[in-house]
Amino acid sequence: MSNMMNQNLNQQFKNKNISIVFGCGGNRDEIKRPKMGQIANQFCNKIYLTDDNPRNENPKKIRSHIKRKINQSKLYEIASRGKAIKEAINNLHTGEILLVAGKGHENIQDYGTSKKFFSDRKCILNQIKKKNKNLSKKQKGSNSRRKAKLQLAKLHIKIANQRKDYFHKLANFLAKNYDNIFIEDLNIKAMQMMWGRKISDLAFSEFVNILEYKANVTKIDRFYPSSKTCSNCGYVLKELNLKIREWSCPSCNAKHQRDVNASINIHRVGASTLAGEVVRATFVA
Ligand SMILES: [Zn+2]
């Protein structure tokens, strides 16, 4: 969490109540803890103080450092990160913003000697599911339904932002490590119509937009049969069911792992479109 982030939120959502769930990591930056508490106190109306990778420190001690500069009336101290998130979502009112800070896309809570699985994202999504169930029980057109809907919209916004952060990090990594990146220009809209939102969540096209901005991206024609073409001999299958992950070429007997084979083809076609440039194949497992 940073000062910038909260200031940003305040500018984006003027006069909105902001709740925050956060904690500070153990074994680092002890001096920053009360400062972070102070910033949260300045910008947020409800502060759910919890644990965030305590590592080898006593989590209670970490929280006591943070809360020195937090107004008692705003403070909810809940050691369990999962319970803190649930409580924060339950207490959220119409139009309020909830900021779950710290973990982003990490999947671990680090207690020094033990590491436990924990994902902010999963926890938030579970809570949204519960709220969705409540919502479907509420009468259509009713006031309480409208309110519940608004709350959900806010929760969705926060997850979208987390995803964007992750996309930027991933795009930076790829841009730094690869001179050229070849991707299939997948027809996301068509894919959604066929398989529903799960397949992409439109996230892939959002990611491609970010990636194109930062790296040399060459898009391959969406109608090129990258999966169905044998990367060894060029034979093209008539059909390849999505469920089939491995196949053997009927022409040359080469054994293929579906995605690896497709990536070899995409690389080959992409490289051939970059006239005059030397392109070296790099494979990421
Ligand atoms: Zn073949």
pLDDT value for 159: 64
pLDDT value for 278: 47
Condensed to tens digits (0 to 9), the pLDDT of residues 229-256 reads: 999 999 999 999 888 999 999 999 999 9
Residues with CB under 5 A from ligand 1 (ion): 230, 232-233, 235, 249, 251-252, 254
Strands 97-100 and 181-184: unpaired
pLDDT value for 104: 62
Q: Specify if 196 maps to a domain.
A: no
Q: Specify if 51 maps to a domain.
A: yes
- Looking at 95, 121, 147, which one is the last position of a domain? 121
Q: Specify if 10 maps to a domain.
A: yes
Cα gap 267→277, rounded to integer Å: 13
Domain that holds residue 14: 2-121
Q: Specify if 266 maps to a domain.
A: yes
Q: Specify if 150 maps to a domain.
A: no
Q: Specify if 53 maps to a domain.
A: yes
In the reported structure, the alpha carbon of residue 233 is separated from the centroid of ligand 1 by a whole-number distance in angstroms of 4
In the reported structure, the alpha carbon of residue 17 is separated from the centroid of ligand 1 by a whole-number distance in angstroms of 61
Condensed to tens digits (0 to 9), the pLDDT of residues 159-189 reads: 666 777 878 888 888 888 888 888 877 655 5
In the reported structure, the alpha carbon of residue 259 is separated from the centroid of ligand 1 by a whole-number distance in angstroms of 15
pLDDT value for 283: 47
Quick one: tokens of 157? 């916004």
Return the number of other C-beta atoms located less than 10 Å from residue 38's C-beta.
15
- Looking at 121, 154, 187, which one is the last position of a domain? 121
pLDDT value for 205: 75
Question: How far from each other are the two terminal CA atoms of the chain, in whole angstroms?
Answer: 32
Q: Specify if 143 maps to a domain.
A: no
Give the chain's domain count: 2
From the list 19, 85, 75, the residue with the least C-alpha distance to 52 is 85
Residues in a beta bridge with 220: 184
Quick one: tokens of 237? 């299958």
- Looking at 121, 145, 175, which one is the last position of a domain? 121
Sequence letter at residue 52: D
Show the low-confidence residues of the chain (pLDDT under 70): 1-15, 94-95, 103-106, 132, 135, 149-161, 186-202, 275-285
- Read off the CATH number of the domain in which 114 is found: 3.90.190.20
In the reported structure, the alpha carbon of residue 50 is separated from the centroid of ligand 1 by a whole-number distance in angstroms of 56
Phi-psi region of 94 (alpha: psi -120 to 50; beta: other; left: phi over 0): beta
In the reported structure, the alpha carbon of residue 235 is separated from the centroid of ligand 1 by a whole-number distance in angstroms of 5
pTM over 0.85: no
In the reported structure, the alpha carbon of residue 256 is separated from the centroid of ligand 1 by a whole-number distance in angstroms of 9
In the reported structure, the alpha carbon of residue 168 is separated from the centroid of ligand 1 by a whole-number distance in angstroms of 38
Cα gap 263→231, rounded to integer Å: 9
Q: Specify if 21 maps to a domain.
A: yes
